[in-house]
Amino acid sequence: MFLFWYLERLSSAEMGFRWGRLTHYAVALLCPLVVPGIVAIVAMLAGAVDLSNTNWQKILLNVLIVTISTALVAVVTEEGFFRGWPWASLRRRGMSESRLLIFTSIAFAAWHISAVTLDPDFRPMASQIPIYLLTPR
């Protein structure tokens, strides 16, 4: 992503890196906190949770590591390589936004085919593969 960004001399705004509204950031942060929180509360109320042997320091460290690494990987790969660079590059060449959306969505889905077909620990039924590829992550 960075190489293509540099070679094509695209601006950060063209790549999609610009500040949004605070409310959008709040929603983006609240959604992954609220939904698992509700699930945790329901599980606790159902008596399906035992926190007596929980190592909270290890859990917090793991959550921090996963959050930071996922954010970095998502920005560089998903947003940068599958949306930012191709979107900006093809837009400069005159492609319409609807065609850009379709093209980048197909590229993103194609990138995930290997996760569905090659990972020995993740083997959905063949009928579920299109659903996996078309569902936003």
Quickly list H helices, the chain. 2-7, 22-45, 56-73, 85-92, 97-111, 113-117, 129-134
Mean pLDDT of 88-94: 90
Digit-coded pLDDT (tens) for 66-81: 989 988 888 777 778 8
pLDDT confidence tier of residue 45, bands split at 50, 70 and 90? very high
In angstroms, how far is the first alpha carbon of the chain from the final one?
20
The residue among 94 and 108 whose pLDDT is bigger is 94
Q: What is the Cα–Cα distance from 131 to 135, expressed in whole angstroms?
A: 6
Least confident of 57-61, 70-74, 91-95, 132-136: 132-136
- DSSP annotation of 58: H
Is 41 a member of any domain?
yes
Is 115 a member of any domain?
no
Q: What is the average pLDDT score of the chain?
A: 85
Q: What is the Cα–Cα distance from 10 to 32, expressed in whole angstroms?
A: 32
The residue among 113 and 42 whose pLDDT is bigger is 42
pLDDT at 64 over 90: yes
Contacts of 84 (CB under 8 A, 6+ apart): 1, 5, 14, 15, 16, 17
Q: What is the Cα–Cα distance from 63 to 91, expressed in whole angstroms?
A: 37
Is 83 a member of any domain?
yes
Domain, as residue range, for 81: 2-95
pLDDT at 38: 94
pLDDT at 67: 87
Give the H/E segment covering residue 15: none
Is 64 a member of any domain?
yes
Is 88 a member of any domain?
yes
100-133 residues labelled b (16+ CB within 10 A) or e (exposed): beeebeeebbeebeeebeeeeeeeeeeeeeeeeb
pLDDT confidence tier of residue 120, bands split at 50, 70 and 90? low
Is 120 a member of any domain?
no
pTM of the predicted structure, to 2 decimals: 0.55
Longest dimension (CA), the chain: 60
Number of domains in the chain: 1
Is 125 a member of any domain?
no
Is 132 a member of any domain?
no
